[in-house]
Amino acid sequence: MKINWFYFSSPPRFYALAGRLSPLFFALALLLTTLGLYLGFFVAPTDFQQGEGYRIIFVHVPVSWMSMFIYLVIAFWSAMGLVMKTRISMVMAQALVPTGALFTFLSLWTGALWGKPMWGAWWVWDARLTSELILLFLYLALMALRAAIDDERRADRACALFALVGVVNVPVIYFSVKWWNTLHQGASVSLTRAPSMASTMLFGMLVMALAAWAYTIATSLKRARTLLLEREGDSEWARRQFAGDAR
């Protein structure tokens, strides 16, 4: 059987699929967040060094992972949009930006709250923190660039190019703690070696990471639907959609 890779790049099909999946992932996000926060705040043991204060890790690490990963996904959809000229790719790239900016902001904010009691400073200009701040500026710039160009197709192309250029920042953030001396500690969880944290702590963190994934999928699909209607409100399928809703 031959898979049709472009099946869901048809706007009406995508619109229907996103409408079905979005509430599902919202429910999943709620469930996983409740479970993850419960594990993190009540089940996971106290840390030998940082006491109870380390528990902000259950928010900080998942949102930081997500902030970087969303940018990679935006870059992927941007490349797809440029190469394949599929409209849905550009819509997805646009829909993910606000969620990415939100997670980056949360990452910086929870990091500051964690840094003050443990390191003794809200903020330091080390490579990890500075490159994450640049990531926030990249997200904000993507939104500003989009808003500055009236023509949709030109805005799509400009934002896609910008997103692709900015993607070099993601490995810099991730490997900054390895490449340079930083105040920020190294990675506790990586693909190349065993995680350096107790298993209950790790489990809680992974559940929170899945919750962040579910939330991202839910919000971006919902936003993509709205964007799609905004762009193609006059088309035949959108008219039929609304005629159907009105009945």
Partner 1 sequence: MHPQRKKRLLLVVAALAVIGIASALILNAFRSNLVFFHTPTEVATKQVATDRTLRIGGLVVPGSIERSAGGLQVSFAVSDKVHSVPVRYQGILPDLFNEGKGTVVQGVLGADGVFQASQVLAKHDENYMPPEAADALERAGQTVVQP
Instruction: Please state, in angstroms and rounded to a whole number, the distance separating the CA atoms of residues 170 and 179.
Output: 14
Does 180 help bind partner 1 (rule: CB under 8 A)?
yes
Q: Which of 31, 140, 172, 229 binds partner 1 (CB under 8 A)?
A: 172
Instruction: Please state, in angstroms and rounded to a whole number, the distance separating the CA atoms of residues 98 and 220.
Output: 9
Q: Which of 111, 70, 92 is nearest to 213 (CA)?
A: 70
Q: Which of 1, 2, 4, 49 binds partner 1 (CB under 8 A)?
A: 49
The residues in 99-158 that bind partner 1, with binding defined as CB under 8 A, are 117-121, 124-127
Does 192 help bind partner 1 (rule: CB under 8 A)?
no
**Bridge-partner residues for 47, per DSSP?**
51
Q: Which of 12, 30, 47, 98 binds partner 1 (CB under 8 A)?
A: 47
Compare residues 181 and 234 and give the one whose CB is closer to partner 1: 181
Q: At what angle do helices 87-118 and 152-166 cross, to 10 degrees?
A: 40
Instruction: Please state, in angstroms and rounded to a whole number, the distance separating the CA atoms of residues 125 and 152.
Output: 37
Count of C-beta atoms within a 10 Å radius of residue 14: 21
Q: How far is the CB of 4 from partner 1 (least distance, A)?
A: 14
Instruction: Please state, in angstroms and rounded to a whole number, the distance separating the CA atoms of residues 20 and 110.
Output: 33
Token pair listed for 120:
């003794």
Q: How far is the CB of 60 from partner 1 (least distance, A)?
A: 12
Contact 183, 125 (CB under 8 A): no
Compare residues 19 and 186 and give the one whose CB is closer to partner 1: 186
**Bridge-partner residues for 51, per DSSP?**
47
Compare residues 27 and 121 and give the one whose CB is closer to partner 1: 121
Instruction: Please state, in angstroms and rounded to a whole number, the distance separating the CA atoms of residues 188 and 216.
Output: 23
Does 48 help bind partner 1 (rule: CB under 8 A)?
yes
Q: Which of 39, 82, 88, 211 binds partner 1 (CB under 8 A)?
A: 82
Does 4 help bind partner 1 (rule: CB under 8 A)?
no
Does 164 help bind partner 1 (rule: CB under 8 A)?
yes
Q: State the residues that interact with partner 1 by CB under 8 A.
A: 45-50, 54, 57, 79, 82-85, 117-121, 124-127, 164-165, 167-168, 172, 179-183, 185-188, 196-198, 201
